[in-house]
Amino acid sequence: MTAPATTLLELPDEERQDAASETAYQGFLARLSHQSVVKHYDAYADIPWDDPAYAIDPEDPRFELSADDPLGATVWYRSQPQPVRARIGLHMTATFARTGRAFESVLKRGLLEFAARLPEDAPEFRYCYHEVIEEAHHSLFFQEFVQRVRRAGLDVRPPAIVGAGERQVIRFGRRFPELFFFFVLSGEDPIDWVQRRALASGAELHPLIDRISRIHVTEEARHMAFARHYLRRHVPALRGPKLFVLRLRTAIVMKVATQLMMRPSRHVVRTYGIPKSVLREAYGRRSPGAQRARAALGKPRELCWELGVLNARWAPFWKLLGIYAPRGA
């Protein structure tokens, strides 16, 4: 039985229990699995897609980018006619949803690879399957949203980089789960940061965006908590070449993920003729977009500091990528 709409009034914080001991860890996993049973959502039963209030009008002003969005703050964007501003905002949101669907696909298959390597009595096994089910519903509501935007007249395409290397990432679930779970956080944390800020902003959101965001944030709080707890238990044991690869590839994945989920795709740029100078203003190295991306990576970057994946020796590389911030910042 899915949870009724009225249970989505408060957004849960991420699970932060100390699960250092084996007993505490197993209790933590049992609680996550229990929450997946009593507080989960169905992509179709819990989103009223056919409610007239949820219909998509590409010129709805609620789709416009906010004044604190890097592109939305530019003079170029603010000078566009209102219908164009709304279309750009909706087009970007739908592209992020299409990218999210691709990411969720990799995540689900990687989780199944991870579960396949576990002993049959491993406490993680049941929770992983709960998470796969929830991520499948996320893929469904992302895809349904994108299809409705397309029917409203916008040509939504995933960024060209989507799909590149996905089979390798999936194999990490079995062969290198530490890197796989950093991949998970690199994708989930930035979009969680964006969605929580939008929901807390007080701005009037389109009800479909509001509903999808609330469901996503609620369930991802569990998924990210599991990834962080797993990494805290296993990364400290890594040494030598494997630790080097983890440090190198984690930083690169975080850079790529924030670009995919926090700036317009090339297709959107071409469709609306966004000038290169505007993109530099919004997303250049010292731009509001760069600051926003660093802020969105705050929690996974702090975990990297905690586990030694980021340290003084690796800080220059993170600075080169434009995603560095001191510990505790």
What are the angstrom distances between the C-alpha of 212 and each of 14, 140, 142, 204, 248?
Answer: 18, 11, 8, 14, 34
pLDDT band at 328 (very low <50, low <70, confident <90, very high): confident
- Residue predicted with more confidence, 253 or 19: 253
**Would you give the DSSP letter of residue 152?**
T
pLDDT tens figures, 67-89: 999 999 999 999 999 999 999 99
Would you state the pLDDT for residue 1?
39
Give mean pLDDT, residues 49-60: 97
User: Does 230 reside within a domain?
Assistant: yes
> What's the full length of the chain, in residues?
329
Q: What percent of the chain has pLDDT over 90?
A: 83
User: Does 256 reside within a domain?
Assistant: yes
User: Does 41 reside within a domain?
Assistant: no
User: Does 326 reside within a domain?
Assistant: no
pLDDT averaged over every residue in the chain? 92
Domain that holds residue 272: 55-321
Residue 301 has pLDDT above 90, yes or no: yes
Taking the C-alpha atoms of residue 10 and residue 125, their distance in angstroms, rounded to an integer, is 29
Backbone φ, ψ for residue 287 (5° rounding): -90, 170
User: Does 44 reside within a domain?
Assistant: no
Asked whether 264 and 293 are in contact (CB, 8 A), the reply is no
Q: Count the domains in the chain.
A: 1
254: CATH? 1.10.620.20
User: Does 8 reside within a domain?
Assistant: no
Asked whether 106 and 119 are in contact (CB, 8 A), the reply is no
**Would you give the DSSP letter of residue 58?**
T
User: Does 278 reside within a domain?
Assistant: yes
| DSSP secondary structure letters along 302-327 | HHHHHHTSS-TTTHHHHHHHT----T
User: Does 47 reside within a domain?
Assistant: no
